[in-house]
A and B are shown apart, each in its own frame.
Chain A
């Protein structure tokens, strides 16, 4: 038994569809089977898919909201100060014909317009951005899903709410959204270690480089899993060598794996070696990057 430590591990990739969810669900499953206190957070709020692979009792659903301004047109003098304060062009104003409208889709809920208004004409209401759902299994494990409402512009608030809900107790696995923009940054910024999943193709390598550059500027520790090894070329290996980036694991290209995944099955259940592969990988990360309980 290893001494209990807390750790947050993000599973990410620049390119979509490289196998992030394959890794995070199997890692979660293996840790769950070992009776660890483990939480998997599906941070891919635009397209959450983790629950395809698990059954669990829904413990609760929580609405994630954002504040947007409401203008009291009786008090409003159409002075335009709120519009000047808004950095998102979310306030539409025609002074001459005394018309003011809030474009809720563009509003980020920063509250600047409320501060700007000198006539007490701006109040706020909540609008829904999505939900977080929490699931419990019989074992000591939890899944939290961030799910953005269709039509909302940015998943960031829902992702933040899900990560907050997970807290920092035990092992937290974060299934990150693809890319290297805000949703990715929000997810990996809280991680102690980042597993980047890539595939050995020119597209995979190009996106991997961009992810690595981003993680470097954030001073994050990271390692790489190459999925679908055997397809494509060897450029990614030369890159890892050259940059001295640890290769954590290789998963061969195998139609059997793809077929299990397509049916929503946990591959570790069908290929027993996966259990020890994932355990070993996890232990080496945990030893080095885990934090003692009272450190934070």
Chain B
């Protein structure tokens, strides 16, 4: 007989980020997502979502995400008074061949022009090409966002992806949420790390890597989350790698471990597998397992 007990699973959220792009953040996220137990994987690099390539998730849910608005001018109603041009703070409105033109890529969607136009010639149109998707993959559930090119407010889309991931985590009783975050230190990064339990920063042993790491730590330190650092491809420059390790210990940042450059990581990607799935017994897979244990049990 099975005794049922009500369990409240508290989600454990781990965000993998990197100030600098291309340090191996997504490969490491993919590895963490395939270590064993079921996970909810949230691809929050909404500007360049990639993990669906490896995991080919089923398509179960889709949500339209409105990423602000754009102003569109009706030439038939416009009397060329130029008031909108005067009011626009984003330099998005200008005259061309005696006509008022709004440059879509520069428009910030503030609506001011449409409000002050005496002719009501400017309408606001929703940016509705961005999407949030949710589905299943071989090791659990996956949520990801795709921001349509040129659309802003990626931070808000990240929030939607994360909310969905939490909802799935609670409903399906899956404890671990792995968040693959975006590069940089802007609003999408802030949204990716807010309220997580662990933030893993993946860096590389280059001067740029160290400088970006410092800026990333500066932003991450503003949050109540445990920060961990991984140096990827450390053997490209062992001196620099040592320097980064020293920087971490001097600043009391948890050092989770370092990984060697291994071309099997790229090979695994080509085969649409994580390194753990592709070469489970390799040294690098072993190292990644160790890092995961360090992050979760220390």
Instruction: Report if A115-B87 is in contact (Cβ < 8 Å); known contacts: A110-B108, A154-B187.
Output: yes
In chain B, positions 4-47 with a C-beta closer than 8 Å to chain A are 18-23, 26, 47
CB within 8 A of B53: which of A148, A203, A259? A203
In the bound complex, CA of A198 to CA of B166 (Å):
34
CB within 8 A of B89: which of A52, A109, A154, A203? A109
Q: Does A255 contact B (CB under 8 A)?
A: yes
Give the shortest distance, in Å, between A187 (CB) and chain B (any CB). Answer: 11
Q: Does A262 contact B (CB under 8 A)?
A: yes
Q: Report the count of interface residues on A (CB-CB < 8 A).
A: 58
CB within 8 A of B112: which of A15, A111, A203? A111
Q: Is the CB of B50 within 8 A of A203?
A: yes
Q: Does B288 contact A (CB under 8 A)?
A: no
Q: What A residues does B190 contact at CB under 8 A?
A: 153
Q: Is the CB of A217 within 8 A of B149?
A: yes
Q: What A residues does B109 contact at CB under 8 A?
A: 87
In the bound complex, CA of A210 to CA of B48 (Å):
8
At the interface, is chain A mostly helix, strand, loop or mixed? loop
In the bound complex, CA of A186 to CA of B108 (Å):
12
CB within 8 A of A46: which of B149, B184, B204? B184
Give the shortest distance, in Å, between B155 (CB) and chain A (any CB). Answer: 7
Pick the interface stretch among B131-139, B171-179, B265-273: B265-273
At the interface, is chain B mostly helix, strand, loop or mixed? loop
Q: Does B222 contact A (CB under 8 A)?
A: yes
CB within 8 A of B185: which of A15, A46, A110? A46
Q: Is the CB of B207 within 8 A of A264?
A: yes
In the bound complex, CA of A88 to CA of B184 (Å):
22
Give the shortest distance, in Å, between B86 (CB) and chain A (any CB). Answer: 11
Q: Report the count of interface residues on B (CB-CB < 8 A).
A: 64
Instruction: Report if A110-B89 is in contact (Cβ < 8 Å); known contacts: A18-B22, A178-B183.
Output: yes
Instruction: Report if A47-B185 is in contact (Cβ < 8 Å); known contacts: A87-B69, A181-B154, A214-B149.
Output: yes
Q: Does A155 contact B (CB under 8 A)?
A: yes
Q: Does A177 contact B (CB under 8 A)?
A: yes
Q: What B residues does A16 contact at CB under 8 A?
A: 18, 20-22, 48, 183
Q: Does B105 contact A (CB under 8 A)?
A: yes
21 contacts between A and B (CB under 8 A): A46-B215, A47-B19, A47-B20, A110-B90, A115-B87, A150-B219, A153-B155, A160-B91, A178-B184, A180-B147, A181-B151, A189-B106, A201-B270, A206-B53, A207-B50, A210-B149, A214-B150, A217-B149, A259-B237, A262-B205, A262-B209
Interface of B with A (CB < 8 Å)? 18-23, 26, 47-48, 50, 53-54, 68-69, 87, 89-91, 103, 105-106, 108-112, 115-116, 147, 149-152, 154-155, 182-187, 190, 204-209, 211-212, 215, 218-219, 222, 233, 236-237, 240, 261, 263, 266, 269-270, 272
Other than the given A47-B184, A189-B103, 13 more pairs (CB < 8 A) read A46-B19, A47-B215, A49-B207, A87-B109, A87-B111, A110-B90, A111-B112, A151-B222, A181-B154, A185-B150, A217-B149, A258-B236, A263-B240
Interface of A with B (CB < 8 Å)? 14-18, 21, 46-47, 49, 52, 67, 85, 87-88, 108-112, 115, 148, 150-155, 160, 177-183, 185-186, 189, 201-203, 206-207, 210, 213-214, 217-218, 231-233, 255, 258-259, 261-264
